[in-house]
A and B are shown apart, each in its own frame.
Chain A
Amino acid sequence: MTMPSEPTPDLPRPTDLSRPPLTGDRAARLEELLCDRAVFGLDAADEAELALLMGDALDTATGAELVAAAVAVGLTPSVADPPASLRQQLRSDAADFNFVQAAEQARSLPAPTPAQSGLADRASLAALPSAARHRRLRDLTWAFAAAASLIVGFWLGGGYKRPDTLSAPLAQAPARQMEALRAIPDSRTIAWKPTEDPALIGPRDAAEGFDRTQFNWGEVVWSDAEQRGFMVFNGLMPNDPEVQQYQLWVFDAERSADHPVDGGVFDIPGNPGESVQHVVVPIRVKLSVSRATLFAVTVEKPGGVVVSDRSRLPLLAQL
């Protein structure tokens, strides 16, 4: 089985928002999550879901956040003096802060362009005189704004990350290592939850009485302390690595609104159309994961991607 050791040269950059805008239920859900984030903040589960929808644009501040901020200011009729000790601490923090480096980092990040976003109409807005611009803005719908929110706000994300290509030794499933990891006090075992993705659909689906929600799709064994783990798959369909590969994403509570950690690409061996039982794949994250909250498997092009479009998401395991 071929395992590419390098990412393909045409991997999307962090600012490449050229994937098609979300539509239908996914767009509506994105809209809900963006609104909830702006007004209430999100819990870990919703943030993970938003990350799946927004990918590398997760930290893009949106129009909803600006509206919420403006209203929050408007509903703050008076401000209280902070404690003197806090003011002193803020000054001390500022004295220790490297503003020059921060500005350089900020400027080194390429800004997504409207053309990249596929929302070229937005680009023309900036060129219009103010009055005309706002007349046109008036015509924009909220749904459009939700999609456009990927670009109309501010880029809050980190730098370019290369995918951690994982060469999983599937043929030598390290079951013994996995069992040893289970014995570590902080290790956790989480069952996979299925979606309706066709990567899970096999002959068993035709069987009378088959309930995919009750099926044992396998599990994730993970240790934050050890920074390693294993995935067990039951029933995930074999893939042709020349056509597509599976890719793992690990969501980290301490990374907050940052991107999920790329857990690498891997394959499920077997005959086409015949699901395989008990395939063990090691997890080898190269970026530190402080506290994993969600593991997600996507189906990607060979070599994996930096930014998943999340159009294929067969399995999730949430802590």
Chain B
Amino acid sequence: MTAVLPAEPLLPRVAAGDTSAIEACLDRYSGLVWSLARKYFAENADAEDAVQEAFVSLWRNAARFDARIASETTFVAMISRRRLLDLVRRRVRRTLDRPDALRGQADPSLDELAGGETALRVDGIDLGPVEVREEASRARTALAQLKPEQREVLQLALGEGLSQSEIADRTGMPLGTVKSHARRGMQQLRSVLLNESSPVVPSSPPFPQEASR
């Protein structure tokens, strides 16, 4: 059974300390943040610590969410990824092995992903509203437009959480080439997404984000 969650953003209510919104926010996004964390941390304990830190950062930043700039899902992912990458750098606990939970799972092909048939779901429940799925689909479509080598590097980095050196090892590309493909690919992605009509990337004046760490 598929249940579509309300499109109304939760973070403004979270920022006000609304306990029901906080609970709903955890229900809606803890799976996403957990899945992102598992890309970077092989050990459950490390991933759990990282998710906890990511959510504390999200609570701190909840008041600064602005739907004109990004969807709530992208906002949550951005805050989480920054914290996760920071923890990876600090702890250096990541292993080259994929987490147990992910072993045996084949990555979906880009065609499958671009088709949007594999929308974000938890136990058969859509993670987010229609516009979130559309945004994710746009990002995947943009990725599909890249040169193959750029796409491969960004898929490994953003989809699997591999570092530059791990990508070099995996693909046989020189490290500098990995960096070049990532940078050019991101340049292209941004260019493509700027042509879109929805706010995947910022299109309005800035707003502050984190008060403290």
Contacts and interface: CB of A to CB of B under 8 A. Distances in A.
Contacts of B193: 67, 70
B213 A63 contact: no
Interface residues of A, number: 87
A109 interface: yes
B103 to A, nearest CB: 13
A94 B55 contact: yes
What 10 pairs between A and B have smallest CB-CB spacing? Answer: A41-B85, A105-B211, A154-B209, A75-B159, A155-B208, A74-B139, A69-B78, A77-B118, A99-B17, A79-B31
B155 to A, nearest CB: 6
A257 B85 CA distance: 11
Interface of A: 31-32, 35-44, 47, 59-61, 63-83, 85-87, 89-91, 93-94, 97, 99-100, 102-103, 105-114, 122-123, 125-126, 130-131, 133-134, 137-138, 140, 142, 145, 151-159, 253, 255-258
29 contacts: A39-B154, A39-B182, A66-B69, A66-B74, A67-B186, A67-B189, A70-B136, A74-B113, A75-B159, A77-B118, A80-B38, A83-B44, A86-B34, A86-B48, A87-B30, A93-B56, A102-B15, A102-B59, A105-B60, A106-B61, A106-B64, A109-B211, A111-B206, A111-B207, A113-B205, A123-B205, A134-B203, A142-B187, A142-B190
Contacts of B130: none
A253 B81 contact: no
A83 B47 CA distance: 11
Contact of A106 (B63, B88, B195): B63
A90 B26 contact: yes
A80 B210 contact: no
A307 to B, nearest CB: 16
B15 to A, nearest CB: 5
Interface residues of B, number: 94
B159 to A, nearest CB: 3
Nearest to B157: A39
Interface in B141-191: 142-143, 154-155, 157-159, 163-164, 179, 182-183, 186-187, 189-191
B61 A64 contact: no
Contacts of B190: 63-64, 67, 142, 145
A43 to B, nearest CB: 6
A100 to B, nearest CB: 6
A109 B208 contact: yes
Contacts of B154: 39, 71
Contacts of B183: 31-32, 35-36
Contacts of A137: 194, 203
B36 interface: yes
Contacts of A94: 22, 26, 55, 59
B23 interface: yes
Contacts of A158: 211-213
